[in-house]
Amino acid sequence: MRPLHALVAVGLAVAIWSQQGAAQPPTASQRATLFEGARLIAGDGLAPIENAAFLVENGRFIRVGRKGEIQAPAGAIRVDLTGKTVIPALIDGHSHIGYMKHLTSGAQNYTRENILDHMRRFAYFGIAASQSMGSDFGELPFQLRDETAAGKYPDAARFFTAGRGLAPLVEISADNMRQAAFPITTVAGARASVQELAPRKVKLIKTWVDDRGGAIRPLSPELYRAIFDEAHRNNLRVAVHATDLAQAKELLRAGIDVFAHMISDVDDELIDLFKQHPKTVILSALGGPRRVIFAPWLNPVHPLIRETVLPEQIARLQRRIPLTDSAQLATSAASWERLARGVAKLSAAGIKIGVGTDGGGQQGDQFLGWTMHTELENLAAAGMTPAQVIVAATRTTAEILGIDDLGMVAVGKSADFVVLDANPLDDITNSRKISQVYLRGVAIDRAQLRAGFMSMAAAN
Ligand SMILES: [Zn+2]
């Protein structure tokens, strides 16, 4: 009876469209779809809804509740998700898009095709949006930001850009990602650079305040204070690469909005300063320090890596990490433990922590998309509960980036969600057991994406 009913329903619907004179039947994204039976982790931090139901229409969540409470409208598609777990699509607050390509990394790879490949990789891994942090240049990032936000590429994550970052001259070189940055040497120049970015409607201004272990003189307080002031005058927020504890305290006093990385150490004074500046938030970006000591996913190679990255690139990373030199291992383990204690301390104090991966950065082979899933595990290893980690990677990061319609499975939000084969509240690494990814209410074709990643990489 079912197929016949469906045919009759389709026939009726077609008749109605013809009467309305519509040239085209509704696309899958416009058609109402009722998803039933999953465990729903909505991204609101509340207990999951078992046996949930949610109705999606025109790419948005129309109703969210329990199975049986929500009726399918006539002509609706029904999707049975019994046994699955649904989470909101993830959001990456810190990445560097467009530079990595197979075994190379550099500005020569910064093309429309490569940026879109990266955004499709994010989508493949269940990520709905990613914020590129200061390494973009030219008109292309703004065009692609607007095009991905408008849904021009249905299987690509939304690309957000800080445009060109603001860096001290000593940090800029042709062979690093700061080649794109505005060189900042004077207060007037700092203000002018912010003024150039403001009309481009960037989500954040990115700057670097780091002495690189004493090797360089970082941006002076006078200059970064000018950046903060000019940004705030233009209703923009500033994300700063800074990891040193003393530096972090000065930045809090100066009015920093977003720490782009976890701070290397956290003490009570820092916690107090965060509390005095309740709008200041921090992105995790723990991947670099942790993976040099802990990378079980490289041996054996996790299927998600094997199906998206070519063998020679995997082999290169296997030669680099995890470290084998015992002195280096001990140093790295100690620095990871300090970072982890910091995460636990900030989290316990209620400081807002979002998730950033630094994926695509130049520490080498930060496999785009995959790094989100290791980052979730890093945060859980540092002591956050899986429920807290999921909120951090969804609602909180959406808030930090000012993306109003992502980060939760809730009425009115864009229907971007991930269907998992196992419950990430039991074990956060279950975030890797991806069954389907939906963007704007439509499942992306992951098999086709996979084929594209491997053939694009092979063409290099
Ligand atoms: Zn970065």
The values of phi and psi at residue 388, to 5°, are -65, -40
Q: Where are the alpha helices (DSSP H) in 78-139?
A: 112-124
Give the bridge partners for 298, in sequence order: 301
Distance 60 CA to ligand 1 centre (A): 32
Distance 260 CA to ligand 1 centre (A): 7
pLDDT of 299 reads 93
Distance 205 CA to ligand 1 centre (A): 13
Q: How far apart are CA 406 and CA 59, in angstroms?
A: 12
Report the length, in residues, of the chain: 460
Distance 95 CA to ligand 1 centre (A): 6
Distance 358 CA to ligand 1 centre (A): 5
Give per-residue burial for 242-278: e unless 16+ CB within 10 Å, then b.
Answer: bbbbebbbbbbebbbbbbbbbbbbbeeebbebbeebe
Q: How far apart are CA 241 and CA 134, in angstroms?
A: 10
Neighbours of 434 (CB within 10 A): 17
Distance 343 CA to ligand 1 centre (A): 18
Whether the Cβ atoms of residue 440 and residue 154 lie closer than 8 Å to each other: yes
Within 13 Å, how many C-alpha atoms sit on residue 135's CB side?
A: 31
Distance 50 CA to ligand 1 centre (A): 38
Q: Which residues of the chain have pLDDT under 70?
A: 1-29, 362-364, 456-460
Distance 165 CA to ligand 1 centre (A): 11
Distance 166 CA to ligand 1 centre (A): 13
- Please name each of the domains of the chain with its CATH number: 2-87 (2.30.40.10), 89-416+446-458 (3.20.20.140)
Packed helices 326-348 and 268-276: angle between N→C axes, nearest 10 degrees: 40
pLDDT of 455 reads 85
Distance 282 CA to ligand 1 centre (A): 13
pLDDT of 21 reads 41
Distance 283 CA to ligand 1 centre (A): 11
Q: How far apart are CA 390 and CA 394, in angstroms?
A: 6
CA 355, 145, 241, 251 torsion-angle sign: negative
Distance 297 CA to ligand 1 centre (A): 22
Residues with Cβ within 8 Å of 156's Cβ and at least 6 positions away in sequence, in order, are 116, 119, 120, 122, 123, 148
Distance 100 CA to ligand 1 centre (A): 13
Distance 208 CA to ligand 1 centre (A): 9
Q: How far apart are CA 287 and CA 308, in angstroms?
A: 19
Q: Does a cis peptide bond (omega within 30 degrees of 0) precede residue 300?
A: yes
Distance 187 CA to ligand 1 centre (A): 24
Distance 181 CA to ligand 1 centre (A): 13
Distance 361 CA to ligand 1 centre (A): 6
Distance 96 CA to ligand 1 centre (A): 6
Q: How far apart are CA 368 and CA 305, in angstroms?
A: 10
Distance 261 CA to ligand 1 centre (A): 8
Q: How far apart are CA 315 and CA 305, in angstroms?
A: 12
Distance 23 CA to ligand 1 centre (A): 47
Distance 42 CA to ligand 1 centre (A): 29
Residues with Cβ within 8 Å of 254's Cβ and at least 6 positions away in sequence, in order, are 221, 224, 225, 228
**Tokens read off for 310:** 């070519």
Distance 450 CA to ligand 1 centre (A): 26
pLDDT of 456 reads 67
Residues 329-381: tens digit of each pLDDT? 999 999 999 999 999 999 999 999 999 999 988 666 789 999 999 999 999 99
Whether the Cβ atoms of residue 415 and residue 55 lie closer than 8 Å to each other: no
Distance 126 CA to ligand 1 centre (A): 21
Distance 242 CA to ligand 1 centre (A): 10
Distance 263 CA to ligand 1 centre (A): 14
Distance 259 CA to ligand 1 centre (A): 11
The CA–CA distances, whole Å, from 8 to 12, 14, 25, 358 equal 6, 10, 15, 51
């957000």: which residue's tokens?
A: 160
The kind and range of the H/E element at 129 are: strand 127-132
Distance 170 CA to ligand 1 centre (A): 17
Residues with Cβ within 5 Å of ion ligand 1?
Answer: 133, 358, 361
Q: How far apart are CA 390 and CA 388, in angstroms?
A: 5
